[in-house]
Amino acid sequence: MALYKAVKYIHTEYANHQTKFIILSDSLSNLIAITSTRNQPDITKLIQEESLLAEKKNKHIHFVWIPGHIGIPGNEMADQEAHNAIASTSTVIINSITFTDAKNEIISHLYNKWHSHWRKLNTKLNKIKNNINPWKNPELNRKEETIINHLRIGHTHLMHSYLMSKDEPPLCDSCSVLLTVNHIITECNKYNQYRNQFHISEQICQALGPNPQDEKNLMLFLKKTELYNLI
Ligand SMILES: [Zn+2]
């Protein structure tokens, strides 16, 4: 802010015949920021704009870094003014975050909003996947990916082909209950042996979760139970 005020003062208050100015500052980070053109805070942009306007009026400003205030007349006064400004309610607050920071803040806000909306939905998929992070299945081939996606959204040929043939929804031929993804993966007694053999979790969200080893085991389970080509 002090740099901005100094540049603006030179630009607007000094008579035009004065052409050379030196601004001394102990803030190395601010001086470096002024020389950059990327991701500066708004205050740095304002300093650059004022410097440019001053330059157009033939007022050349040089910035010099001084390591600390000591021994330079007027600095005690400048320090005191700075302290007064911090305490004053009439001090204008200028945005000191970068555009990149602001963009990241907006992305994070939208992500949280989307996430909380996702968690409130009542779909089969969001019972298994309770977040919006992408799930990659690097260990699975294309067919296996299709199978696991069908299971996760709860729509499979085995359970839903009746919609096309206009039959009744199918029942499990062993347990006589409605055939569902949850039933075949976690409940059906017919598959207990293979469920144990391939360590399929009793929790559907884990059995169909993104863990690569769980996904591999699930495929082995589906092959052994001959469900693989029915999903
Ligand atoms: Zn069953």
pLDDT of res. 93 = 66
pLDDT of res. 125 = 85
Q: How far is the CA of 123 from the centre of ligand 1 (A)?
A: 23
Per the CB < 8 A criterion, the answer to whether 53 and 10 are in contact is no
From 66, 101, 136, give the residue that closes a domain. 101
Tens digits of residue pLDDT in 42-69 = 788 888 888 999 898 888 999 888 876 5
Q: How far is the CA of 7 from the centre of ligand 1 (A)?
A: 79
Beta bridge partners of 64: 24
Shared-domain flag, residues 70 and 147: no
Evaluate if pTM is beyond 0.85.
no
SS3 171: strand
Shared-domain flag, residues 168 and 202: yes
Q: How far is the CA of 100 from the centre of ligand 1 (A)?
A: 55
Spell out, as residue ranges, where the chain has pLDDT lower than 50. Answer: none
Position 50 in a domain: yes
pLDDT of res. 119 = 84
Shared-domain flag, residues 153 and 82: no
Position 17 in a domain: yes
Q: How far is the CA of 151 from the centre of ligand 1 (A)?
A: 16
Shared-domain flag, residues 48 and 5: yes
Per the CB < 8 A criterion, the answer to whether 86 and 116 are in contact is no
End-to-end CA gap in the chain: 65
Count of beta carbons in the 10 Å neighbourhood of residue 91: 11
Q: How far is the CA of 15 from the centre of ligand 1 (A)?
A: 92
Q: How far is the CA of 212 from the centre of ligand 1 (A)?
A: 26
Residue of 183, 194, 200 whose CA lies nearest to 225:
194
Number of domains in the chain: 2
Tens digits of residue pLDDT in 198-225 = 999 999 999 999 999 999 999 999 999 9
Per the CB < 8 A criterion, the answer to whether 167 and 151 are in contact is no
What is the Cα–Cα distance from 23 to 3, expressed in whole angstroms? Answer: 8
Shared-domain flag, residues 81 and 148: no
Position 110 in a domain: no
Position 144 in a domain: yes
Q: How far is the CA of 219 from the centre of ligand 1 (A)?
A: 19
What is the Cα–Cα distance from 118 to 20, expressed in whole angstroms? Answer: 61
Beta bridge partners of 227: none
Shared-domain flag, residues 59 and 140: no
Tokens 């469900």 appear where? 227
Shared-domain flag, residues 97 and 131: no
Residue 50 belongs to domain with CATH number: 3.30.420
Position 169 in a domain: yes
Q: How far is the CA of 191 from the centre of ligand 1 (A)?
A: 8
Q: How far is the CA of 166 from the centre of ligand 1 (A)?
A: 22
62 Cβ partners below 8 Å, 6+ apart? 20, 21, 22, 23
Enclosing domain of residue 81: 1-101
Per the CB < 8 A criterion, the answer to whether 54 and 94 are in contact is no
Shared-domain flag, residues 92 and 135: no
Position 112 in a domain: no
Shared-domain flag, residues 175 and 132: yes
One-letter amino acid identity for 173? Answer: D
Position 111 in a domain: no
From 33, 66, 101, give the residue that closes a domain. 101
**Total H helices, total E strands in the chain:** 13, 2
Shared-domain flag, residues 1 and 97: yes
Shared-domain flag, residues 87 and 133: no
Shared-domain flag, residues 131 and 209: yes
Q: How far is the CA of 60 from the centre of ligand 1 (A)?
A: 85
Q: How far is the CA of 161 from the centre of ligand 1 (A)?
A: 18
Position 32 in a domain: yes
